[in-house]
Amino acid sequence: MSMGSSLCPAFSTFTKHSPLVFNRNVHAYPFLRNCNCIARGYSQKTVDSNVSVSEAPTRPHSEILRIRESLLSREKTAVEIAEDYLSRLKERETKIKSFLYVSEHALQEAEQLDKMVAAKSPLGPLAGVPFGIKDNLCTLDMPSTGGSKILEGYRPPFDATCVRKMKEAGALAIGKTNLDEFGMGSSTENSAFQVTSNPWDLSKVPGGSSGGSAACVAARQCTCSLGSDTGGSIRQPASFCGVVGLKPSYGRVSRYGLMAFASSLDVVGCFGTSVMDTAILLEVISGQDSLDATSSLLQVPSYSSLLPSIGSLETKPLDGLRIGLIKETVVDGVDSGVVSAIFKAADHLQVLGAKIQEVSLLSFSLGLPAYYILACSEASSNLARYDGIRYGNRAPADDLVSMYGNSRSQGFGQEVKRRILMGTYALSAGYYDAFYKKAQQVRTIVQTDFKNALKDCDLLISPAAPTAAYSIGEKTNDPLAMYAGDLMTVNVNLAGLPALVVPCGFTAGEGQKLPVGLQFIAAAFDEERMLRAGHIFEQTIGDLCFVPPLL
Amino acid sequence: MHILREMMMLREMMMLRGSSKLLLPIGTAPPRHWSTKRHMQCCSSSSSSSFSSPHYKFEPSDVLQLAEKASIKLTPKEVEEFQPKLQQLIGWFGQLQEVDLDSVLPALRADNLGHRPLREDVPIPFKDRDAMFAAVPEVEGPFVKVPKILKENLE
């Protein structure tokens, strides 16, 4: 099977699994209109001759497990897999521009892996999996710019902990992905180097700030990727690009080697084309790290093994699960296509046995300005380190103070400068109580509201963004309009909760249909419950295919 | 040009300190202990929209002052462009003043982590010192080189 076939899942992938239980219970699921089609896909022996390939099941499968199977069965070598991905990466890169740098070592690393396969040495859980790395994560053998001119060409002398763990698990670092400068933006248009396109429609943004990491996975340029999420930077691009995005609990994943933007909010997370893949990744990158004092001491569960195989599912696999739909996220002003996709998704969860109730979070709208005050304040302090002394680019000047001013003036882009100035303002004496302290008080009520909501509900759901992907250039001159797009995600960061975005439907605007993501929010360190619900949701949603048609 | 010892560089030169030195009031600074009630009156009497409170109006000179504190040199064109946008955003921040949160304790971060004992205050030398130094823009021997520090200190 060529890797190219991963674009449209073929029957052969699924025949290894047992038939779907839904085959028997299809009438219990009025929502699953295409259930027959799905069920037939899983038990090919019963496929009747009228089913065409176009009706093949679109259920996302784990690319990571597939690569592992290919390697272990000797169906493919790691070099062949890496070559497949690299050639696709290069071909699509001219249109998508998701990468700032492509590794020169990936094939050599794949060769090493093949030697291990031949020697029957134990393989890491991610052996041969090509992954992209958001460029605000430090990498030893690739430049790390954070999307900023001030770090153009910078080569850190160490790997971020999450990158090191991926490599130790056998994954192949394939390149560094584009982003809004230092993570400050929601469209990846604030990169100092290039604008990334949405693989669903090249005239649209991929979202941001982890736009490159989302786009490269959607375009199948790599299997999965690492990103960071300060106010939605993983979840909103996952929604815009139709991939799965996972933002872990604050403290779950070490941030050593992540270029700090807002330290009370930043988390490292990941993207994949299935919930299973993000669960496998989370398991690899999580855990306490002596180099990050905020990393949690809690044990890391085996997330992937907790996800049920679809063959074993009961009639109502989510029976008894209490899910709250956040009322403030499906109100007027939110795109009607998004709202209708979310309602459909909620219906489906109900069909799976979940109890859906509406939940109101009164602090929701206050969270947005509070988030921006806190994020800008922390950024103004964190970015003081870029001064042209120890690393990064230095502008010429006669004295030190002018050198600071010139280096930062030439090195930072407009949005970064604006945020530093806003943060500087909010932290100024006389304004501190009115802005920074007030925002921290809002953070307290946001945390309390979530805690209370998660007493009555096991999970909360909402859209990941108020719209689907918008046009490149549409919001670049209107910061407030751009910030408003973060309404659905920032509160989760203020509360430090984990959240998962799973593609759930499409909006039909003019031209190309665009994906919509469903956000699941769980209590702190309850990633398991969220991954399980997301996995079952994704595996049963029916005939929606989240592979961009342009590719 | 002065040449400084690298340790001195770390301690002294890196400190831009975005926050702690910002003691200059900007624009029409509100009094330190500013009551919510008073501000709400101010907002309701003169605000043209819910997102722009004139109380936070500031001039291009304030932008320059902020930029100086943040060690960012701005061109006159940037000052002109930033001023209305910053004013708009700071007005938008101002909506929080309309909420009474006096009895609420501020939260520094997510309360996920519980009590975390601090590690011992012991330096851990970085293994690859040469690679770290390779990233320094200007070195001379074992030193990090910077432009002269004080204008008056010319000799």
Cβ neighbours of B126 in A, within 8 Å: 157-158
| Least confident range of A8-12, B107-111, B112-116 | A8-12
| pLDDT higher than 60, residue A182 | yes
> What is the spatial distance between Cα A269 and Cα A281, in angstroms, rounded to a whole number?
9
Percentage of residues in chain A having pLDDT higher than 90: 85
For residue A315, name the pLDDT band (cuts at 50, 70, 90): confident
Judge whether A170 and A177 are in contact, CB under 8 Å.
Answer: no
Better-predicted residue by pLDDT, B17 or A284: A284
Nearest-CA distance A52 → chain B (Å): 51
Contact A296/B13, CB-based, under 8 Å?
Answer: no
Q: How many CB atoms lie within 10 A of CB A162?
A: 28
Residue B37: exposure state from Cβ atoms within 10 A (0-12, 13-18, ≥19): exposed
| A294 → chain B, closest CA residue | B113
- Residues A186-215 have pLDDT tens digits of 999 999 999 999 999 999 999 999 999 999
Residues 6+ apart with CB under 8 A from B20: none
Domain contains B85: yes
Closest-CA residue to A317 (of A352, A360, A275):
A352
Q: What is the pLDDT of residue B68?
A: 96
**Interface probe with B: pick from A389, A440, A475, most Cβ of B within 10 Å:** A389
- Helical spans, DSSP H, in chain B: 6-8, 36-46, 60-69, 76-93, 129-134
Residue whose structure tokens are 């519980």: B114
| pLDDT higher than 70, residue A80 | yes
Domain contains B7: yes
pTM recorded for the entire structure: 0.85
Domain contains B47: yes
Domains, chain A, ordered by start: 3-321+492-540 (3.90.1300.10)
Contact B70/A424, CB-based, under 8 Å?
Answer: yes
Structural domain including B90 reads 2-97
Q: What is the pLDDT of residue A146?
A: 98
- Across the range A388-396, mean pLDDT stands at 96
Domain contains B81: yes
Q: Give the DSSP letter of residue A430.
A: T
**Interface probe with B: pick from A151, A422, A424, most Cβ of B within 10 Å:** A424
According to DSSP, the residues that pair with A176 across neighbouring strands are A101, A133
Residues 6+ apart with CB under 8 A from A266: A183, A228, A229, A230, A255, A258, A260
Q: What is the pLDDT of residue A430?
A: 87
Q: Give the DSSP letter of residue A314.
A: -
> At A463, is the secondary structure helix, strand, or coil?
strand
Apex CA A547: angle with CA A543 and CA A548, to 5°? 125
| A371 → chain B, closest CA residue | B93
Domain contains B86: yes
Q: What is the pLDDT of residue B56?
A: 61
Closest-CA residue to A22 (of A305, A315, A419):
A315
Cis omega (within 30 of 0) for bond into A407: no
Q: What is the pLDDT of residue B151?
A: 65
> What is the spatial distance between Cα A216 and Cα A182, in angstroms, rounded to a whole number?
19
Nearest-CA distance B32 → chain A (Å): 5
Domain contains B117: no
- Residues A87-115 have pLDDT tens digits of 999 999 999 999 999 999 999 999 999 99
For residue A509, name the pLDDT band (cuts at 50, 70, 90): low
Annotated catalytic residues of A are 134, 209, 233
| pLDDT higher than 60, residue A397 | yes
- Residues A527-544 have pLDDT tens digits of 999 999 999 999 999 889
Q: How many domains in chain B?
A: 1
CB pairs under 8 A between A and B: 237
Nearest-CA distance A103 → chain B (Å): 19
> What is the spatial distance between Cα A243 and Cα A218, in angstroms, rounded to a whole number?
6
Better-predicted residue by pLDDT, A167 or A542: A167
> What is the spatial distance between Cα A112 and Cα A356, in angstroms, rounded to a whole number?
50
Nearest-CA distance B48 → chain A (Å): 17
Could you tell me the sign of the dihedral formed by the alpha carbons of A524, A526, A532, A535, in that order? positive
ipTM, two decimals: 0.85
A-facing residues of B in 5-24 (CB < 8 A) are: 9-10, 13-19, 22-24
Contact B107/A381, CB-based, under 8 Å?
Answer: no
> At A488, is the secondary structure helix, strand, or coil?
coil
Contact B146/A389, CB-based, under 8 Å?
Answer: yes
Residue whose structure tokens are 């909103």: A236
- Residues A135-144 have pLDDT tens digits of 999 999 999 9
Better-predicted residue by pLDDT, A296 or B16: A296
- Residues A233-270 have pLDDT tens digits of 999 999 999 999 999 999 999 999 999 999 999 999 99
A118 shares contact with chain B (CB less than 8 Å): no
- Across the range A113-126, mean pLDDT stands at 96
Domain contains B131: no
Q: What is the pLDDT of residue A175?
A: 98
Contact B90/A400, CB-based, under 8 Å?
Answer: no
Helices A438-456 and A364-382, axial angle in degrees (round to 10): 130
Q: What is the pLDDT of residue B65?
A: 94
Q: What is the mean pLDDT of chain A?
A: 89
The pair phi, psi for residue A519, each rounded to 5°, is -95, 125
Contact A403/B146, CB-based, under 8 Å?
Answer: yes
Contact A494/B99, CB-based, under 8 Å?
Answer: no
**Interface probe with B: pick from A139, A164, A438, A454, most Cβ of B within 10 Å:** A438
Domain contains B27: yes
Contact B30/A430, CB-based, under 8 Å?
Answer: yes
Q: What is the pLDDT of residue B49?
A: 34
